[in-house]
Amino acid sequence: MEPRKFFSLLLGVTLALTPINGAYDKERDALLKGTFPQDFIWSSATAAYQIEGAWNVSDKGPSVWDTLAHQGRVYNQDTGDVACDSYHKYPEDVALMKQMGLKYYRFSISWPRIFPTGEQQDGVNQDGVRYYNALINELIANDIQPMVTLFHWDLPQVLQDRYGGFLNNHTTNTTVIHDLFGDYARFCYQNFGDRVKYWITFNEPWITSWLGYGVGNFAPQHNEPAEGQYKAAHNIILSHAKAYHIYDDEFRAAQGGQVGITLNCDWGTPKTPADADAALRYVQFFLGWFAHPIYKNGDYPEVMKTTMARKAQEEGRTTSRLPEFTPEQKLSISGTGDFFGLNHYTTVEVTDACCTPIENPNYDTDKDVGTGHAPDWPRAASSWLYVVPWGIRNLLGFIKEEYGDPEIYVTENGRSDHDQDPAIMMDMERICYYMMYTNEVMKASNMDNVKVKAYTAWSLLDNFEWLSGYSERFGLHYVDFNDPTRTRYPKASSVFFKQLVRNNGYPEGSEFTKYVENMWYFCHNTTEAEVNGYTGGASQISSLFSLFLAIPMMIAYSLIA
């Protein structure tokens, strides 16, 4: 029998067996049927340090993450030395995407794999150039478009040592780091831009700024929580603008691609109506910090400037901890995004905490807010990741209104599981997450007219989850990190995602949508114990789904594959 027919037959049987026809009572969480626009981009993402391994092959220089991991600072002393070994196994990764019907892939280039010291004048690692050419060619040969991130946190260690990395002279016009990032970007456009049409300058500068240079638990481990994050962010914004203009001036006409930045933001929902301003402040300090200068007017959001000015007074400082852009800088920053890259995972409940004196500034104190989570929000394996699907629709609507209706590319969204034995292959909570979140994205697109052009699943593979090492798994594919060959195995979610891509959403009347309708009830009825209280056992939701849905899906998958 033709595999697709067989699959749909199995879904039919599954539906007949499924005991509850899911009517969910909350209007907000109802399933929207329909499809995404025809040219909608479905993609999956990874990042160099998280998957490549080969940390010191040929002339690759160390990155700040190599340093941190080698100091034993990651959970279980894990490192990215081998990771998923994608440096050697990239053809397998591409085959997995092909199998899922994906036509786009977001990955990052490791700066120190191209320039070992971060500076072109010190030498180029030709083997690194060869590797990315080979990966890009493999993608194109399989009809998969590359979307390339230039900086996903793995700064060359030498640049940190020589110049302080993104702390380098942040208030002058002669900052070395901008030029060095510009040189690196130019080199990538020159060498790969004939085939790469989507460039993302920075991934989540909020993380690099706050965790890398403010709190310092992430690389490069600079602890200066009053000011480090603001200095680093200032430099990152200027470096982004530099890379954008280099593309615009030197490459756009010939290559015809697009350049943007990927910003992360948790949606902030007010705990009570009285917290509405605080919730807005939360989003402005988080997303607006970068989005306002780049997508609006070259400068930080007003509420950030006034709040930080008041704090300077309270703290007895003569200048604000938030630096200022010069008029020329503002002009060069404003409008430097051809698309708006968004990474979103979760939502927080915000309360107003104005204006308590700040002794130890942190993300919340600077915003004058408190944050928490509603008791009925299920949690993923990651301590920060609560599942609140409607948050993404609110955030997309906010971006549309606030930044002049840009084209938005969701460049990451996904959910973690624990690393456990037996492995979670029937990853039903991840299926639920993708189902509910993509449906909310479709509501934003089709009901709210937000120009969402892309949805990217994080991640194609289980990988090195930063400080959590290999203890949290985000992949559509399972990777056995104890197996020297790093074999990849499809999880149930990859089958689901493949169907989602094939259907381009939730078309009325399709077998897939019927299947989703039946799952909808379960997906919205996970209890906290099931998802939060990880005990190593299968949750109720998983066992029900395994019985009625996942096993037939997996059988179908193996037959198709």
| Binding residues vs ligand BGC (CB under 6 A) | 47, 50, 203-204, 207, 264, 343, 412, 458, 465, 474
Q: Residue 312 CB, nearest distance to ligand BGC (Å)?
A: 30
Q: Residue 50 CB, nearest distance to ligand BGC (Å)?
A: 6
Q: Residue 457 CB, nearest distance to ligand BGC (Å)?
A: 11
Q: Residue 106 CB, nearest distance to ligand BGC (Å)?
A: 10
For 7, counting Cβ atoms within 10 Å of its Cβ (0-12 exposed, 13-18 middle, 19+ buried), the class is: buried
Note if 412 is an active site residue.
Answer: yes
Residue type, 226: A
Q: Residue 329 CB, nearest distance to ligand BGC (Å)?
A: 27
Give the residue with the Cβ less far from ligand BGC, 64 or 550: 64
Q: What angle do CA 430, 432, 438 make, to 5 degrees?
A: 100
Structure tokens given for 388: 């609140």
Q: Residue 60 CB, nearest distance to ligand BGC (Å)?
A: 19
Give the residue with the Cβ less far from ligand BGC, 153 or 548: 153
Give the residue with the Cβ less far from ligand BGC, 278 or 432: 432
Q: Is 77 left (phi over 0), alpha (psi -120 to 50) or beta?
A: left
Which residue, among 15, 25, 24, 64, has the nearest Cα to 166 in the 3D structure? 64
32, 25 contact by CB (below 8 A): no
Helix or strand run (H / E) with residue 268? strand 267-270
Instruction: Report the alpha-carbon distance of residue 436 to residue 493 in Å, rounded.
Output: 13
Which residue, among 84, 154, 106, 54, has the nearest Cα to 463 in the 3D structure? 84
Q: Residue 433 CB, nearest distance to ligand BGC (Å)?
A: 13
Written as one string, the DSSP assignment of 150-200 is EESS--BHHHHHHH-GGGTTTTSTT-HHHHHHHHHHHHHHHHHTTT--EEE
Give the residue with the Cβ less far from ligand BGC, 436 or 544: 436
Give the residue with the Cβ less far from ligand BGC, 90 or 464: 464
State the number of CA atoms in the 13 A half-sphere of 545 facing the CB.
30
Q: Residue 411 CB, nearest distance to ligand BGC (Å)?
A: 8
Instruction: Report the alpha-carbon distance of residue 561 to residue 15 in Å, rounded.
Output: 23
β-bridge mates for residue 260, sequence order: 200
Give the residue with the Cβ less far from ligand BGC, 165 or 205: 205
Give the residue with the Cβ less far from ligand BGC, 145 or 459: 459
Instruction: Report the alpha-carbon distance of residue 237 to residue 261 in Å, rounded.
Output: 10
Parallel, antiparallel, or unpaired: how do β-strands 41-45 and 452-458 relate? parallel
Instruction: Report the alpha-carbon distance of residue 374 to residue 281 in Å, rounded.
Output: 19
219, 74 contact by CB (below 8 A): no
Q: Residue 518 CB, nearest distance to ligand BGC (Å)?
A: 29
Which residue, among 352, 178, 193, has the nearest Cα to 273 in the 3D structure? 352
Name the CA dihedral angle for 77, 155, 366, 272, rounded to a multiple of 10 degrees.
Answer: -70
Q: Which of 204, 412, 440, 530 is catalytic?
A: 412
Structure tokens given for 503: 């259907």
164, 228 contact by CB (below 8 A): no
Give the residue with the Cβ less far from ligand BGC, 83 or 553: 83
Other beta carbons within 10 angstroms of residue 533's beta carbon come to: 11
Residues annotated catalytic, as ranges? 412
